[in-house]
Copies of this chain bind each other. A is one copy, B any other.
Amino acid sequence: MANFDLIHDLLKPGTSKIVLLVVDGLGGLPRPSDNKTELEAAQTPNMDRLARQGTLGMTIPLVPGVTPGSGPAHLSLFGYDPIALPVGRGVLEAVGVGLEVGPGEVAARGNFCTLDGQGRITDRRAGRIPTEQAAPIVQRLSAIRLQGASVEVRHVREHRFALVLRGSGLDASLEDTDPQATGVPPLPVRASDPAAEHTAELVAAWASAAMGLLRQERLANGLTLRGFSTDPSLPRFPSIFGLRSGCIAVYPMYRGVAALVGMTAVDAGGESPKEEFGAAARVWSDFDFLFIHLKKPDSRGEDGDFEAKAAAIEEIDRALPFLLDLKPDVLAITGDHSTPSQMRSHSWHPVPLLLWAPMTARRDSQVSFGEGACASGQRDARKASDLMPLLLAHAGRLEKYGA
């Protein structure tokens, strides 16, 4: 994680503009035919030109080997350490599917499980029930109403869902109901702090109603709840880094994470890169920092469609001149994580980073933007969470440390 106190202490005012362009799921794996990844196979003349002028690198989203969800991956890019910070797993899960979690609201991760005739857990993940079968079950649970709080429930993937309670007097100090074992029933909802007794009763009432609705479900006749947590009151990105900070993103998830750190949401104007860059043009004078999120390469990677992911990257490259016309002083093009189309999922692999700053970026010897070039580049930031101080430095917004 960036040392927020240090960075904040070194801030100096400036008029420079920073753009963090996040191409979701950018990193990939090489295809056998020519040993090129999606990014390397794509025709990206604009990115390649920036690569020749700038500095390439590879960043690790969280820690080596750990595949990040989109929430933690973006927090890293914003300079935070999502593992060290008290961002509850429930909040991350909820924000990750576009649910808002405000101060005083309580979020939890839910798991469907299977129970035997005596109510003992036989499979803690309900055989990883397929998404298309789990989603309608979550839909049925959304009908449950409580007295004294509103509840929102949303499916995540397979056996996982997210739950958010909103109301007055709530407290997230609840223990997991997942016993982390089979052969025993789910644990009762218990407060770990007396202040959460009322919340425990509400959650217990919801869980009881949910278990009633699930009783006849063949694939998932039980559930457990974990990671109760509330808005983590994260340090505010705009004040840490001294940047009026805007977020241009189409999907609620990314606007949610940006909101968690205090960025201002900007109307994206449409789903295409060109439209999102148009949104940037409209608000250009209002912000010092713009986080622009482009979703499609990740989606095509998750589809397992190498060609479509490469094409989505090419679409971004074609639109890039509209962004460059705004004359950002510092532009970083990177991903939040890798989504190799061969894996059809997020992965732990390091992520390509292109850092362009005409006055201060060292040119390395690389002439195109791709995983191989980035692995051989300068690699000034090794961890994604080291990126923000670098962007500030290139933007001329950091004083020297010490005499």
A residues with a Cβ closer than 8 A to B are 2-3, 6-7, 10, 29-30, 35, 37, 58, 60, 62-73, 82-83, 89, 92-93, 95-97, 156-157, 160, 162, 253, 340, 342-343, 345-350, 359-360, 362-365, 371-372, 375-382, 386-393, 398-403
Contact = CB atoms under 8 A, between A and B. Distances in A.
A297 B283 CA distance: 44
Contacts of A62: 401
Nearest to A92: B402
Q: How many copies of this chain does the complex contain?
A: 2
Nearest to A338: B362
Nearest to A156: B403
B343 A398 contact: no
A359 to B, nearest CB: 8
Contact of A69 (B68, B398, B401): B401
A93 to B, nearest CB: 5
Contact of A67 (B29, B83, B375, B401): B401
Residue in A92, A95, A97, A378 with the greatest tally of chain B CB atoms within 10 Å: A378
9 contacts: A3-B83, A7-B65, A66-B398, A73-B402, A96-B402, A96-B403, A346-B400, A349-B360, A365-B372
Contacts of A378: 58, 350, 375
The secondary structure that dominates the A interface is loop
A151 B160 CA distance: 56
A393 B70 contact: no
A401 B362 contact: no
Residue in A64, A343, A392, A393 with the greatest tally of chain B CB atoms within 10 Å: A64
A397 to B, nearest CB: 10
Given A62-B401, A66-B401, 8 more contacts: A3-B83, A68-B402, A69-B400, A69-B402, A92-B403, A93-B403, A365-B372, A365-B376
A3 B63 contact: yes
Nearest to A10: B66
B82 A402 contact: yes
Nearest to A60: B380
Contacts of A69: 400-403
A382 B68 CA distance: 19
Given A92-B402, A96-B402, A402-B96, A6 B66 contact: yes
A389 B68 CA distance: 13
Contact of A403 (B30, B70, B398): B70
